[in-house]
Structure 1
Amino acid sequence: MSNASEAAIPEPIARKLDAEFGSWPGVLADWAAANPDGDMLIDETKRLGWGEGWALVERIAAALQRDGLVRGQAVAILGTSGVDYALVYLAAIRAGGCAAPLTTSAAPKQLAAMMADSGAAHLFVERAKWAELQESGVDLPSLSVVMLDEGKGDLPALGDWMAEEGAIAEPVSPHVGDPFNIIYSSGTTGAPKGIVHAHLMRWRQAAGGFKSIYGTESRTLCSTPLYSNTTLAVFLPTLLWGGCAYIMGKFDAARWGEIAEAERITHTMLVPVQYQRLMAQPGFDDHDLSSLQYKFCTSAPFSADLKAGVLRRMPGALTEIYGLTEGGVVCMLHAHKFPDKLHTVGQPLPNHQLIVIDEEGNRLGAGEKGEMVGRSPTMMSGYRNRPDATSAMEWRDEAGELWLRTGDIGVIDEDGFVQIVGRAKDMIISGGFNIYPADLEDALMAVDEVADAAVVGMPSEKWGETPVGFVTLKSGSERDGAAIRDQVNAGLGKTQRLSEVLVLNELPRSHIGKVLKTELRAMIPERAG
């Protein structure tokens, strides 16, 4: 489709973006000089143009250097996403360090572990999160603390701490292997792992991967947190191509529609549950969303029915992105172009490779289920301070070439489209048979009264494991779990049958919409037979 954001890019900037590698801070500074009055960053309380916004980035970067930040050192950020959060993120990179956004949903003990692991000397934190850390009593590493929202006692506010007006940081030319950011895993099962992305990886993703998708007229609505790679996948290329990012501190379906209409939003990234909530919002179809050009989705299973609904009710292209924060293979499904492939996550991008292997590492053919491994020009540098975890993620082929394990079970069809069957760690082995939760979840979702569903394996003395379903019901339904179980089991093979179905008000989800199956398992450890 045509891209209305393809306004003329100044030739010097265009040449830089066409290069194999370049300086993120250098290009952003060029945009500030070329378009100082154009919108750069917006949230519910602030609106900064490129000139003003980049001047603040320089002042924060200069203060980091003043405080002794060394090349490649992390800068920890903890709080609600917004303009100030984004400025600190960009300033860390401008100063020659790397951004380490921390997961706000993590427990204080996990946050302390992330800070220590990152090696950060600075923590930029909002007042509420700092109070939570203090009240928890956890031991924090020695850090210079700067408050994102307002000062507290002897802890300075960002505006008071940054360098004087007009200050400019010392120039730093990034190297290809310099760390750009550290993204920490959700940490739902122990200590989070720090995924290190290098400058080259981020350059290839945003400069090469999104050419012709973003431009100076792009206006991206970011509605997931900036500590998530889901958000960074649209936030970073928007800015590298001279556009504007509107940052929602917390997703609200009603407010999203108002912002998208008022700000003439052209690009957005939403996770599946957000698409669901938007389209269930009364009056959603009354919003003028005609400016939308590109809608993206990633991070959680995106059902074919939901994709079809988005295509019917929201303008613009719809692209599902499948990939890992660690990098490796990226698949894209341009749903508006392939309506007969909505059950898939699309095909690998050019220069990205994906194969399916069995438990012995043998390659499988089209139509065969197995673990997916991938390789590409965009792969993580590794897990910070975790060579063991990095090695466990890697797989090498017959020629010794490095691939990354996805942890997902999938199948590639004759046309090269990839269908995800489930997570390898979630696969249920019952009576010696492999059961894929996705198959049972599809069966549960086919029940008219079911609004959402998840299946986990629970211990069973008789079978080793047995599948248990969790569902939420559509408004007005009063069916019980046993009736739903019996209906679904009637259409399943004997080895697949659900031992139980439990009805919940809602499924527990992470900040990016993934069902937290560890929490589901913890609900009924004693009930599976």
Structure 2
Amino acid sequence: MSTITLESPYSTLPELIATHALERAEHPALIEGTRRLSYGELNAEADRVAAALQRDGVLPGEAIAVCAANSINYAVLFVGALRAGVVVAPLAPSSTPESLLGMLADSAAKLFFVDADVRDAIGGVRERIQPALYSLDNSVGEHGYSQWLADAKPTAVELAPELVFNIIYSSGTTGEPKGIVQSHGMRWSHIQRALVFDYGPDARTLISTPLYSNTTLVSFLPTLGLGGTVVLMAKFDAARYLSLAQEHKITHTMLVPVQYQRLMARDDFDQYDLSSFIMKFSTSAPFHAALKADILDRWPGGLVEFYGMTEGGGTCILPAHLHPTKLGTVGMPSEGHDMRVIDEDGNELPHGEIGEVVGNSPAMMTGYLNKPEKTSEAEWYDSTGKRFIRTGDVGRFDEEGFLTLMDRKKDMVISGGFNIYPSDLEAELRQHPELLDVTVIGVASTSWGETPVGYVVPKPNADVSAESVLEWFNARVGKTQRLNRVIITDELPRSAIGKVLKRELRDIFQAEFGVLK
């Protein structure tokens, strides 16, 4: 299948890579530093991975786990496992050792691939790790990835659409991780969707977010599936990112909002030649209108925001370059995606009213692995029995069908009987000229039930105090939206894909201040 269209019948990533290897064997597939792998080489290496898994008795539908920084070896292992029909469970290196043990047990991984940093981090629980452990970066020679590879051709495996592609774990750093099961059919729909964003054989995609994240995979997988080139960064660095983008004449990228923020804040940003960019993407965290406007003004190429969940369901898409008056929204539902808003009792609400966002689409998780009750909690069915996934986000659709998000349902503050959306307060805080980063959380209050508290990061050399910011803010908002206090901090805690860890902040606040009056 050398030509793919939106109407193409089902195919799989390993099949597409094999086709590219036949038709464009020398075309670069993966670049990491000075190392390059062509499609011919990628295809051959993927065969060696698949054959090694079959030699070791890992059957189709069984899983392997990988926990490491981005690398060519990581990418090849992923593709080779899929070729053998083996499920990939990519795990976050930021996870605690105990969380990793839980995810390994939950996925029933047969093999576990790590790099040197992760190997060191799990030293205290090494004896409790059940699957065979291999060094993806060859840091331990006798158990290294290169020695593990087979010198053989694998037995062909039929990859049916319902076969599990990967298990992505949510809440890997805090809380109980939930394994989100995604199928080959779901991933095929992502590859098809990418065609409308000019992915193809000439695409050069710069990846700086981690490969364990769905944020990354929705850009990484289509690039390879459609024959383009992926340039990998092991870790995001703003200066290095801009240098690589200029050097490789990057056309596509996926970045989370905090990365855009750090790039645009660089004094030398405008000195780089970024004219090769065709399309930039963002997802996973709130993307503020002012930042979108700055990117549209100063960075060539289109800008597209995706709103959705790793679990699937509905996806909203905002081509910001086409809708400059809608930058405060996350766009409209993608074609074929049915998204609605429901109240606390599960009743559907009309446009303009605020409620929880739910969605149905061709790309939906099978469920949470080994957690049928959690799967059931995440589902909503309409009157016809149609299945939707609950997002946990609160929002409203305008009359044109654009979705404006208010907040995570769990982050909404109910103070004195009033619903307060932290995103509204954060938008106002960002207007302060001396603040670099902000967030608002709800904390316990004996007088109000909950009350909002702001955490702010001042700009370098800014002369501000918590009291002055609090006074400035409370003079600008209504009585019910006033902050109880402001706390100045050097940095907001964020996940590897840029989400502010509000639960962590709430725990820190409670430990230090307890319940407020």
Instruction: State the TM bucket, normalised to the shorter chain.
Output: over 0.9
Q: Give the equivalent residue in structure 2 for 1:422.
A: 407
In the alignment, is residue 506 of structure 1 matched against residue 491 of structure 2?
yes
Q: 1:187: which partner in 2?
A: 172
2:326 maps to which residue? 341
Rounded to whole Å, the distance in 1 between the matches of 2:174 and 2:378 is 17
1:319 matches 2:308: no
Q: Aligned to 1:14, what secondary structure does the other structure show?
A: coil
* 8 Å Cα contact 1:16-1:22 kept in structure 2: no
Q: CA separation in 1, counterparts of 2:390 and 2:346?
A: 11
Q: Does residue 172 in structure 1 map to residue 157 in structure 2?
A: yes
> Who is 1:111 aligned against?
100
* Closer/same/farther in 2, CA of residues 208 and 469 from structure 1, 3 Å limit: closer
Matches within 5 A, 1:22-41: 22-41=11-30
TM-score by length of 1: 0.95
- The answer as to 2:392 corresponding to 1:407 is yes
- 2:70 maps to 1:81: yes
How far apart, in 1, do the equivalents of 2:257 and 2:344 lie?
Answer: 31
- The reply on whether 1:163 has 2:150 as its aligned counterpart is yes
Structure 2 residue 260 is the aligned partner of structure 1 residue 284? no
User: What is the correspondence of 1:111-260 to structure 2 with a 5 Å cutoff?
Assistant: 111-134=100-123, 136-137=124-125, 140-152=128-140, 154=142, 156-164=143-151, 167-211=152-196, 213-260=198-245
Question: Which residue does 2:505 correspond to in 1?
Answer: 520
Contact 2:466 2:487 in 1 (8 A): yes
User: Do the aligned residues in 1 keep the contact of 2:396 with 2:404 (CA within 8 Å)?
Assistant: yes
Equivalents in 2 of 1:268, 1:128: separation in Å? 26
- Give the percent of matched residue pairs that are identical in Structure 1 and Structure 2: 48
CA RMSD of aligned residues (A): 1.4
CA deviation profile, 1:365-395 (whole Å, cap 9, x unmatched): 2221111111111100111111111000001
Q: Are the equivalent residues in 1 in contact too, given 2:5–2:195 (CA < 8 A)?
A: no
Unmatched 5+ residue regions in structure 1? 1-11
Deviation at 1:259, TM superposition (A): 0.5
Could you list the runs of 4 or more consecutive aligned residues of structure 1 that deviate by over 4 angstroms after TM superposition? Answer: 15-18
CA shift for structure 1 position 213: 2.0
Mapped contact 1:330–1:348 kept (Cα < 8 A)? yes
Deviation at 1:447, TM superposition (A): 1.7
Letter in 2 for 1:229: N
Q: Spell out, residue by residue over 1:53-102, the C-alpha distance to the aligned partner (whole angstroms, 9 max, x if none).
A: 21111111100111001111111111111100101111110111111111
The structure 2 residue matched to 1:61, chosen from 40, 50, 62, is 50
Bigger shift: 100-109 or 478-487? 478-487
Equivalent residue number for residue 9 of structure 1:
none
Structure 2 CA distance, aligned partners of 1:128 and 1:22?
Answer: 36
Structure 1 CA distance for aligned equivalents of residues 196 and 435 of structure 2: 41
Query: Does the 8 Å CA contact 1:112/1:139 hold for their aligned counterparts?
Result: no
- Structure 1 residues 230 and 212 mapped into 2: Cα distance closer, same or farther (>3 Å)? closer
Aligned to 2:372: 387
Counterpart in 2 of 1:3? none
User: Could you say if the C-alpha distance between residues 92 and 276 of structure 1 is closer, same or farther in structure 2, counting changes exceeding 3 Å?
Assistant: same
Shift of 1:17: 7.3
Tell me by how many angstroms 1:176 deviates: 1.4
Counterpart in 2 of 1:5? none
Match of 2:280 in 1: 295
Does residue 360 (structure 1) correspond to residue 348 (structure 2)? The answer is no
Return the alpha-carbon distance in structure 2 between the equivalents of residues 16 and 486 of structure 1: 57
Range with greater deviation from structure 2 (125-134 or 260-269): 125-134
| Per-residue deviation, 1:209 | 4.6
Point out the more displaced range, 117-126 or 443-452: 443-452
Separation in 1, partners of 2:6, 2:283: 25
**8 Å contact kept, 1:108–1:138:** no
Q: CA deviation at 1:462?
A: 0.8
Distance in 2 of aligned mates of 1:98 and 1:415: 41
In 2: Cα distance, 1:212 partner to 1:369 partner: 31
Kindly provide the amino acid, as one letter, of the partner of residue 449 in structure 2: G
Q: Distance in 2 between matches of 1:488 and 1:238?
A: 45
Q: Give the conservation status (yes or no) of the 8 Å contact 2:224–2:230.
A: yes
Runs of at least 5 residues in structure 2 that lack an aligned partner in the other structure = none
The corresponding residue for 1:8 is none
Aligned residue-pair number: 514
Worse overlay, 50-59 or 275-284? 275-284
Contact 2:208 2:233 in 1 (8 A): yes
